[in-house]
Amino acid sequence: MFYKLKIFILRIIGYDKPLRTAFLKYLSLKFKTFRPHYESILLESTKEAKKLGYREISVLELGVAGGNGIISLENYKKKIEKLTGVKINVFGFDYGEGLPSSKNQFDLPFLWSDGDYKVDKEKLKKKTNSKIFFGNIDKTFQSFIETNPFKISAIFFDFDYYTSTKSFLNQIPKNKDFFCPRVYCYFDDVFSINHHINEHNGELLAIKEFNNENDKIKIGKSLANLVDFKFPLGAEKLFVLHNFTHNDYLKNLDYKDHKSNLDIGDHKAGSLLD
């Protein structure tokens, strides 16, 4: 009992994030559709699409399961569409039968089991208006592309597995025209509390291999920085895909928060409300 108390106290004292951040995280765990990280990524990717002159975009959630993520996206999308005037089309992709069977050691089989997160399709249908493609991503992404979708501006990766993430990433180069010049990518499974996930397995390995195999498209991670205020709870898992040869890649988007006129005494550092 005393030992457990000691460990508990050590964990509280040694926790290196501000407790207000932990509280926000707690709220997002307690209320499953409260996802400030989903909201801020959806908002910033839509604002960039607007700057590019796009009036309609596609947003993907890879791995839908019970639907909490896609429902939160649907809620946020209404407000963001109103604010930006850009129409957001949300699409989900899920195997439907729970996690597919895997014997691949890079899929972290010691964390997840085949069949986890099986979807109750009837229940999900009642809760969401978004189109969900059921089946393995190695087939369903192509079916989605055949619908000639608007450009993809944000992707919420939550397949858990290295193999599934890689299967999606492998399909990007040949479909690169369906992606925005820069795509906001949230990777849910780049950390586990026992520190089992790293660049040698899971999503991080799939990203590393993708970058090694492709010159014209890269998925990168920004450094942590003091002025990083736009992505509450999301920054650590946010990567950006750069579609370097996209027709609009070079278009200047006049990001005011990056600019000052560099006159002496001018110290504009970006607004919390931009």
Ligand X SMILES: C[S@@+](CC[C@H](N)C(=O)[O-])C[C@H]1O[C@@H](n2cnc3c(N)ncnc32)[C@H](O)[C@@H]1O
Site residues (CB under 6 A) for ligand X?
Answer: 61, 63-66, 68-69, 93-95, 98-100, 117, 136-137, 158-161, 164, 167
Q: Which residues of 103-128 are buried (b: 16+ CB within 10 A; e: fewer)?
A: eeebbbeeebeeeebebeeeebeeeb
Give the Cα separation of 174 and 168 in Å (integer): 11
C-alpha distances in angstroms, 190 versus 6, 63, 160, 201? 29, 15, 9, 9
- DSSP 8-class letter at 222: P
> Which residue number, 116 or 199, has a Cβ lying nearer to ligand X?
116
> Which residue number, 76 or 95, has a Cβ lying nearer to ligand X?
95
Rounded to a whole number of angstroms, the minimum distance from the CB of residue 196 to ligand X is 16
Looking at beta carbons, which residue is closest to ligand X? 63
Give the Cα separation of 95 and 139 in Å (integer): 10
> Which residue number, 67 or 181, has a Cβ lying nearer to ligand X?
67
Rounded to a whole number of angstroms, the minimum distance from the CB of residue 71 to ligand X is 9
Give the Cα separation of 172 and 242 in Å (integer): 12
Asked if residue 82 lies in contact with residue 142, where contact means CB atoms within 8 angstroms, the answer is no
> Which residue number, 47 or 160, has a Cβ lying nearer to ligand X?
160
Rounded to a whole number of angstroms, the minimum distance from the CB of residue 130 to ligand X is 12
Rounded to a whole number of angstroms, the minimum distance from the CB of residue 192 to ligand X is 12
Tokens 């390995």 belong to which residue? 205
Give the Cα separation of 224 and 274 in Å (integer): 20
Rounded to a whole number of angstroms, the minimum distance from the CB of residue 85 to ligand X is 28
> Which residue number, 81 or 188, has a Cβ lying nearer to ligand X?
188
